[in-house]
Structure 1
């Protein structure tokens, strides 16, 4: 049992170090020797767990980004703003700010990262579209506007960490919910 804990600890330290470094330097700009140094492991230890550096990135994306299972949508009929605020607060995306940066940074050059980002975005858009449809039943005939509103809402929430890093300003999800809700009425 102690051996299993040690193995998991080394692997976790490698992934923690890689997450920090990939978020800051990018995948290509991070040698495995630097990951090993930050993780305080021998460089050979990385190869024991991840035969190729790309395996570290794939493990990070697979293990540290996901959408929680749907527990239903807490829509407020007739109140788009409240519905979107609730959706933003209960955002089912689980990915640290650094993992969000990695997803966007590496999606252009690594197919598995792009696939994961596409799935995450698709699930967020789907949930936002569904919530908006419940909150504004009469808008179902205006599917194109609901789709644009849902996609915009999901994009801002998914990309907010990157926007904050670029602009230095935190995005208020309530303000985004209000803006999108007003665009639909």
Structure 2
């Protein structure tokens, strides 16, 4: 990736996290990135394009294929939590949750991340509990609960420094499915 483009995105990430999207000027982004202001507009025609690119490129969920472990739903969820923390920096998570309130495209990306997490959790539970596929509603609720708590804990951590133990959460959901 182009070094200037990366510096622009890094600067925008730092500034958006610190002061918010609305309070950050493109001139300030260019200054922090040590690039001419025109170069910001070369890569990103509008300031909104900087935000959208950050959200799209820096909030990926990276999931490695999981092998089925029948009879171990808690293990499936624990493995999932260890493999797919939201691959975003603390500042990027702050941007994602703050800007979702006022920017539809950011809110949509946050929703997509949630749907991805729910889908992976549901698939892990289906692999761990092959006989439970007929109980799709319970698996969906369990997967949604797991994904919601994982996403919520990212926001909670930003505000308080507290973390939810994903292993304890996985055990709790597993027991509820038994």
> Fold-level match, TM-score > 0.5?
yes
Alignment of 1:1-185 (within 5 A): 8-68=2-62, 71-91=64-84, 93-185=86-178
Q: Displacement, 1:50?
A: 1.6
- 1:166: Cα distance to partner? 1.5
Distance 1:150 1:175 in 2: 15
Structure 1 pair 67–172 and aligned structure 2 pair: CA distance change class (3 A): same
Paired residues in the alignment total: 178
Aligned-pair Cα RMSD in Å: 2.1
Deviations 1:76-117 (A, max 9, x none): 211221111111111174322322222222223222222222
1:38-95 alpha-carbon deviations (Å, 9 max, x no partner): 2222333322222211010111122222233x64333321122111111111117432
CA distance 1:24–1:155, change in 2 (3 Å):
farther
Alpha-carbon distance in 2 for matches of 1:65, 1:29: 22
Whether contact under 8 Å (1:74, 1:83) holds in the other structure is no
CA apart distance, 1:145? 1.9
Structure 2 stretches of 5 or more lacking a match? none
